Homo-oligomer: A and B are copies of this chain.
Amino acid sequence: MAKLQKSIDKRDALVRATIDLVNNNGFHATPISKIAKLANVSPATIYLYFDNKQDLVNKVYVEVKAVFTDYAFKTYSPTMTVEEGFELIWKRIADFKLNQTRESLFLAQCDNAPIIDEASRQAGISHLKPLLDLWHRGKEEGVINEISDYLLYAYSINPLSFLMVMQQRGVLKIEASDIEQAYQAAWNSIKKCTNNG
C-alpha cells in the first residue's frame, strides 16, 4: 500500500502523536487536526500515510502489539524448559508493561474499548502464539494444571494491568520485589502442585 519514498520520520511522529493523544484523551476525543499539529504536519499529510483515521489507529495498534510481543519473546527459545520459558516471558511482559507505559496504556485502551476493528484485534492476538505453545507443552509435560487455555492470559498477564494503570496515574511506585512477588504468585497458581488435591 505505502510506496514509501515518504519520510519514515514523519510516519513515526504521527504514530507517536497518536499514542500520546489517545492515551490522554481517548481515540474519539483526539481529532486528526491535533495529531497533525503534534506531529508538525498538515492534516492532509496524514492521508498520504494512512487511508483514514480508523486505518491509522488500526495500524498503530497492530504495530505497538508487535513491539510488545517482540519484546516479550526476545530472549525466549522453545528449547527452554517450561518453567524457564514461563518465568522469562512473564517477567519481560511485566517489564514492558511497567516501563513502556506509553505503549501499554495504549494497548489497554484498545483492548477494552471498541476502538479498533476485529481484524486488527485478531492480528494482535495471533502474535501471542509462542506463549500459547509453551502453555500447551507445559500441560503435556504435566508441569501446568489442566485448565482452560483462556486462563493463561488471565493468570499470567492480567494481574499486572491494574498495577500498570495505577503506576501510570502516579498512585504507586512499583519496586523490583513487587514484580518478583507477582511472578511467584502467578506461577504458583499455574503450576501443578503435588500437595494440592
Binding site for B on A (CB under 8 A): 23-29, 108-109, 111-115, 145, 147-148, 150-151, 153-155, 157-163, 165-166, 171-172, 178, 181-182, 185-186, 188-190, 193, 195-196
Contact B195 A185 (CB under 8 A): no
Q: Which residues of B contact A153 (CB under 8 A)?
A: 162
27 A-B residue pairs with Cβ-Cβ distance under 8 Å, sorted by A, are A23-B114, A26-B26, A26-B113, A26-B115, A27-B28, A28-B29, A29-B114, A109-B112, A111-B112, A111-B165, A112-B112, A113-B113, A145-B181, A148-B172, A148-B178, A150-B171, A151-B182, A154-B159, A154-B160, A154-B161, A155-B159, A155-B185, A158-B158, A158-B159, A158-B162, A188-B188, A188-B193
Q: How far is the CB of A174 from chain B (nearest CB, A)?
A: 8
Please tell me if the beta carbons of A166 and B186 are within 8 angstroms of each other in the complex: no
Given contact pairs A150-B162, A150-B171, A158-B159, enumerate 4 new A-B contacts (beta carbons under 8 Å): A26-B115, A148-B178, A188-B196, A195-B195
From the candidates B29, B160, B166, B186, name the one contacting A189 in the complex (CB within 8 A).
B186
Question: In the complex, what residue of chain B is closest to A175 when comparing beta carbons?
Answer: B148
Interfacial chain B residues near A108, Cβ < 8 Å = 112
Report the Cα distance A182→B163, complex, angstroms.
Answer: 19
Q: State in angstroms the CA–CA spacing of A196 and B111 once bound together.
A: 35
What is the bound-complex CA distance between A145 and B182, given in angstroms?
12
